[in-house]
Amino acid sequence: MMLNRSGIQYYGLLVGLLVNFAHSQQKVAQLFSLLSPSETNVTFSNVLEDTDKENIFIYKNFYKGGGVAIGDINNDGLQDIYFSGNQVGDKLYLNKGDLVFEDITEKAGILNRGGWSTHVTIVDVNNDGLKDIYVCKSLYDDRPDLRENELYLNKGNLKFEEVAKTYGLNDNNRTTQANFFDYDKDGDLDVFIINQPRNSHVLAPNNGEKRIKPEQNYRLLENKNNFFFPAKNNTGILGLGYGLSSVIADFNNNGWQDIYVANDYETPDLFFVSNQDGTYSNKIYDYIMHTSYYSMGADIGDINNDGWMDFVVVDMVAEDNFKLKSNMSGMNPAKFWQTVANGGHYQYMFNVLQLNNGVNSNGDMSFSDVAQLAGVSNTDWSWAPLLADFDNDGLLDLFVANGVRHEIQNTDALKALDHEIKEVIETHNPNKDPNFNAWQYLDVQELLQLFPSNKTKNFMYKNLDGLKFDKVVDAWGLSQETFSTGAACADLDNDGDLDLVVNNIDEVSFIYRNNTNETSNNNYLRLSFIDTNKHCSFFGTKATLYHKKGLQIAELTNARGINSSSEDILHFGLGNIKKADSIYVKWNTGKTSVLKGIKANQTLTINVNSAVDLISNKKESQSFLFEDITQSVHINYVHKENKFDDYDREVLLPHRMSTLGSGIAVADINGDELEDFYIGGPLEGIGKRVFQNSDGTFTERILKLFPDSSREDIGAEFFDADNDGDMDLYVVSGGNESEIGAENYQDRLYINDGEGNFNLFEGLPKLRASGSRVRAADYDNDGDIDLFVGGRQVPGKYPEPADSYLLKNLLNEIGRLQFINTQEAVFAKLGMVTDAVWTDYDGDNDLDLLLTGAWMPITFLENTNGNFSNSTNKVGLQDTEGWWFSITKNDIDNDGDDDYVLGNLGLNYKYKATAQEPFSIHYDDFDDNGKNDIVLSYYNYGKQYPLRGRSCSSQQIPDIKKKFESYNTFASATLSDVYGLEELNNALHYEAKTFASITLENLGNSKFNIKPLPNLAQVSNVNTSVVYDVDHDGIKDIIIAGNMFGSEIETTRNDAGFGLFLKGKGNFEFEAKNMFETGLYLPYDVKEIKLINYKGGKALIVAVNNGPMKLLQLKK
């Protein structure tokens, strides 16, 4: 029966491939051509059958499929292929040249004695110069003998002998991956093994605890004279999880390989960083801001050619609205936060593409997930990612093998399954016997029909510039729909480009020929490694190519993707580069080989015996532009947020509105000619004056006369309110915890006695809006300082526009200090204002206002004889609605007028916005229950849909469950289908049309030029910025900082920003410099940064929400 089904599939596929192949010849050649089995002789198909004993309901990873291993088993210069099968036997194919293969499985001695094969790798285990094959086994609870991993030792002449027990590698604990590397640097291969418990439910929540035996999880085995022993107990390889894959690489460029483990379900991923002595420390919480939730396959590579290894981990979130909503019932906030509290991590159901920011001055790494920015976050039920330069343009592209035989996360199907099981229990187990097995009464095949089965296309993304990728599935010839699992790449025909091999379920495996060499002029260089004196392992060897366009690196690693391993040759695409100026090969022994003037388009074999101990000319310690001096100058302030659940009051709020503080104000407040500052306090906390001392230290002081801790400080500004020559302090109150108009939203003005002591001024108008920023200037030219105060929100009523205030100072009119609220027609209900600057943008010698806000365009309020009017449309900025957070003004190009840096949400967030397809919000009482509802919406393939799914949406409007009785029907419904077109038209409605942070160049005559900041500046929201010539080259630079940790849990929080230095190049061109180049390291929810004069130079004050304040000294 199995053979018949396979045969039918084979001939059906063959006919289809022949038709497709003939048709493709009539078109322009695509990058890949799918070769038919008749061309390659490869007929392996991983046919699966759900049975009563073996099925997806019993085994969670039943559909994880098999893998692909590629390696040259007979040293003839051609890469051979091994496929692992689950219910079918494995296959070994010998490469005969020209992409023709021979099945040598039986005559090579591959036993196929049963068992469920998972991961496979081709690797020289015993260092005899012949590549062996290691096959991992799983499943089969009642047959531990069938779960024993197999080691096929290469005896030469295409003969193999199974010797796993002899080598101590016959593990029978359900192995899902074996990753070989030389962990102790003794010249032979050790191995990191991932074993799994039978199913995920045997793990304790989040951290696993001790419900399974250590050997049933991660194992580090040390090779001692070709026998693998468990490594010493104190290696630091600790923790339990449901591991699916790992990647091993030298992430911090210290010459020692680190281990990243991708864990399925709520157990967090693990990041074992080498301590350079054979031990490891788990740094997942220190270096990785968040992870995928269902972490599947993983791969490494330097995606932006900066010399640091990045990595990708894939998840199982769909790209299209229907599958997205029909396969996810909604995340559970209580469970999410409990996971974090119990030792888990911030985990989200998206792929992660972790950009390595390098190492800071303390030797610590940091990674930024840029998957949303890159456009690679959603690739359906994904298994195997591969980072490789498939078009030889010098940038690593991304392939993702995906597909699941039945959509076992389909919410309607799961509900139906639950109903079936409950019926059986009620009928056949009325006495509630705890040992009752409901499955003996259930028909597996009938239950499977509840779950949709839809083949999908694999994903392929072309790397455009290091941070942006373009989906090229059809354009590159990968449009076949299937269920793909393991995948590997290699140059199978030795023509200089990477071919692709994919293991499919229920279908013949794919062999894709890469046509790059025939269809483009791009060049390549391939590096192979040998040892003519003895045979040794080269895993961990890293090569760096230097050429006229920069550098490229690659590292030789073993396991890649899932279940698979690719060729052990380093492949570099070079684009139009015709030679490498130099190649530095850093061997895993620590020695280095250097080659000069290497021509492109060859496979270069490098002998380890050419290696030498290279003496570095670099200084022992790098001199950074920014130095963290916080502790040494006695700054100890830590902002601590109070506990408040914004979502309890507003279920579908996009992010918390109670975590917006705090702000900074800078001035010399005690007249000693040293700049001091004020740092705002949180609710249930108190702000502080921080005085600069003559020795460069600081002293923190609480103002006893300040009110109690019932106010939350959002913004602050020093200015001379009473014209007495010292700096007074205005503090904006805000937050979301209290009701509208509450007393604790009242702003405060403190009058300075000239020595830094302050008294509360009682004469402010009643200002009870929840505010954002205050900006001081004499807008009416009457000799005293007036104020603009931005209103941030109407508490509990997101996104209603808040009141802002123009406070006119009457000091010079009435002879005493008094402020009145004026021009309310302009400033009341102005919007959700986040920042403002006074600026004479039109050059008429009076101060206008430039504002930013959420759901607002870049807003200009023109000052005409002291009266303000909105001139946004007049200056051509009417379609700039976004989620703007900040403005900084400066004459960036030194042409005599103000230019601006404007911080937005960034392009690395789940929400996307364009003028044609805006991100939207509607706000109204849609169900007539007396409370307004938040409805966010987005576009997917040209149609507008509610952002949130049926479960979340019905928490706000319960009638949605009645209107849409199934998740499938809701998943098909557009925005107007759910809420009604007339109702939407009557609602408060805002749109965001751009989320990019920008510079706004003032061209004069009220004309402006918008230019997005570099891609690296778009990885998170920009809450704050500073313009200053940091490197003293005569060209102004930009420093930005931000993040937003309070996102709702179905949206990955904005945490990829670590502060960024944008080096000015002139003409509004800026070059992003990452942490490893500058030392700027701010892994916080940064709310404001400001420069302060310090020791004859500058320092940067950093205000953080719910974290430590920082002071960074700028290099003089």
Indicate which CATH number applies to the domain containing 182: 2.130.10.10
Range of lowest pLDDT (705-714, 775-784, 940-949, 1049-1058): 705-714
Residue 392 lies in a domain: yes
Q: How confident is the model at residue 705 (pLDDT cuts 50, 70, 90)?
A: low
Residue 620 lies in a domain: no
DSSP structural state of residue 672 = S
**Does residue 483 share a domain with residue 465?**
yes
Q: Which of 469, 501, 519 is the last residue of a domain?
A: 519
- Following DSSP, what letter does each residue of 568-601 receive, concatenated? SSEEEEEET--EEEEEEEE-TTS-EEEEEEEESS
The amino acid present at 68, given as its one-letter code, is V
Bridge partner residues of 983 (DSSP): none
* Torsion angle of C-alpha atoms 450, 455, 460, 461, degrees rounded to 10: -40
- Res. 392: pLDDT tops 50: yes
Q: What pLDDT is stored for residue 620 in this prediction?
A: 52
Q: What's the burial of 238, exposed, middle or buried (CB within 10 Å: 0-12/13-18/19+)?
A: middle
Residue 186 lies in a domain: yes
Average pLDDT of the residues in 662-684: 96
Average pLDDT of the residues in 231-257: 92
**CA gap 566, 434 in Å, rounded:** 47
The token pair that represents 380 in the structure block: 């359906």
Q: What pLDDT is stored for residue 217 in this prediction?
A: 81
**CA gap 243, 230 in Å, rounded:** 19
3-state SS, residue 202: helix
Count: domains in the chain:
5
The CA-atom distances, in angstroms, between 890 and each of 345, 835, 848, 899, 1003 are: 40, 15, 15, 5, 14
Q: Edge to edge, what strands does the sheet with 664-667 contain?
A: 664-667, 676-679, 688-692, 698-702
Q: How confident is the model at residue 621 (pLDDT cuts 50, 70, 90)?
A: low
Q: Which of 967, 991, 1015 is the last residue of a domain?
A: 991
The token pair that represents 432 in the structure block: 């509630």
**CA gap 840, 533 in Å, rounded:** 75
Q: What pLDDT is stored for residue 18 in this prediction?
A: 37
For 990, phi then psi, to 5°, come to -125, 155
The residue range of the domain holding 1045 is 626-913+994-1114
Q: Which of 580, 610, 640 is the last residue of a domain?
A: 610
**Does residue 206 share a domain with residue 272?**
yes
pLDDT tens per residue, range 524-552: 999 999 998 887 889 999 999 999 999 99
Q: What pLDDT is stored for residue 459 in this prediction?
A: 99
Q: Are strands 190-195 and 218-223 parallel, antiparallel or unpaired?
A: antiparallel
Q: Above pLDDT 70, what percent of the chain?
A: 95
Tally of CB atoms within 10 A around 550 = 12
Residue 436 lies in a domain: yes
**Does residue 242 share a domain with residue 176?**
yes
The Cα angle at residue 626 between residues 906 and 1100, in degrees rounded to 5: 70
The more confidently predicted of residues 834 and 343 is 834
- Res. 27: pLDDT tops 70: no
The token pair that represents 149 in the structure block: 């991993």
Q: Are the CB atoms for 658 and 735 separated by under 8 Å?
A: yes
* Residue 327 exposure: Cα atoms within 13 Å on the Cβ side: 21
3-state SS, residue 564: strand
**Does residue 514 share a domain with residue 528?**
no
CB crowding 1033-1051: b at 16 or more within 10 Å, else e: eebbbbbbbbbbbbbbbbb
Q: Are strands 698-702 and 550-555 parallel, antiparallel or unpaired?
A: unpaired
**Does residue 370 share a domain with residue 306?**
yes
Q: Are the CB atoms for 911 and 881 separated by under 8 Å?
A: no
**CA gap 773, 732 in Å, rounded:** 7
**CA gap 302, 582 in Å, rounded:** 18
Q: What pLDDT is stored for residue 822 in this prediction?
A: 98
**Which secondary-structure segment (H or E) carries 860?**
strand 859-864
Q: How confident is the model at residue 205 (pLDDT cuts 50, 70, 90)?
A: very low
**Does residue 550 share a domain with residue 488?**
no
Average pLDDT of the residues in 922-944: 98
Longest alpha-carbon distance in the chain: 104
- Following DSSP, what letter does each residue of 1005-1017 receive, concatenated? TTEEEEEEPPGGG
Average pLDDT of the residues in 776-789: 98
**Does residue 442 share a domain with residue 301?**
no
Q: What pLDDT is stored for residue 53 in this prediction?
A: 86
**Which secondary-structure segment (H or E) carries 1002?**
strand 998-1004
**Does residue 509 share a domain with residue 540?**
no
Q: How confident is the model at residue 11 (pLDDT cuts 50, 70, 90)?
A: very low
**Peptide bond preceding 799: is omega within 30 degrees of 0, i.e. cis?**
yes
The more confidently predicted of residues 338 and 350 is 350
**Does residue 1099 share a domain with residue 1020?**
yes
In sequence order, the 6+-apart residues with CB closer than 8 A to the CB of 356 are 251, 302, 306, 308, 309, 310, 311, 365, 367
**Does residue 41 share a domain with residue 145?**
yes
Indicate which CATH number applies to the domain containing 598: 2.60.40.10
Q: What pLDDT is stored for residue 240 in this prediction?
A: 79
- Res. 458: pLDDT tops 50: yes
Residue 883 lies in a domain: yes
Q: Are strands 32-35 and 510-514 parallel, antiparallel or unpaired?
A: antiparallel
The amino acid present at 449, given as its one-letter code, is Q
**CA gap 543, 378 in Å, rounded:** 31
Residue 615 lies in a domain: no
Range of lowest pLDDT (232-236, 759-763, 963-967): 232-236
Average pLDDT of the residues in 654-675: 97
Q: Which residue has the tokens 């030889």?
A: 392
The CA-atom distances, in angstroms, between 985 and each of 215, 531, 944, 975 are: 61, 73, 14, 12
Average pLDDT of the residues in 695-704: 88
Residue 877 lies in a domain: yes
**CA gap 129, 1070 in Å, rounded:** 50
Residue 617 lies in a domain: no
Q: Edge to edge, what strands does the sheet with 510-514 contain?
A: 32-35, 510-514, 499-504, 484-490
**Does residue 465 share a domain with residue 445?**
no
Q: What pLDDT is stored for residue 24 in this prediction?
A: 36
**Does residue 747 share a domain with residue 642?**
yes
The token pair that represents 399 in the structure block: 């392939």
Average pLDDT, the chain: 93
The token pair that represents 876 in the structure block: 């051509």
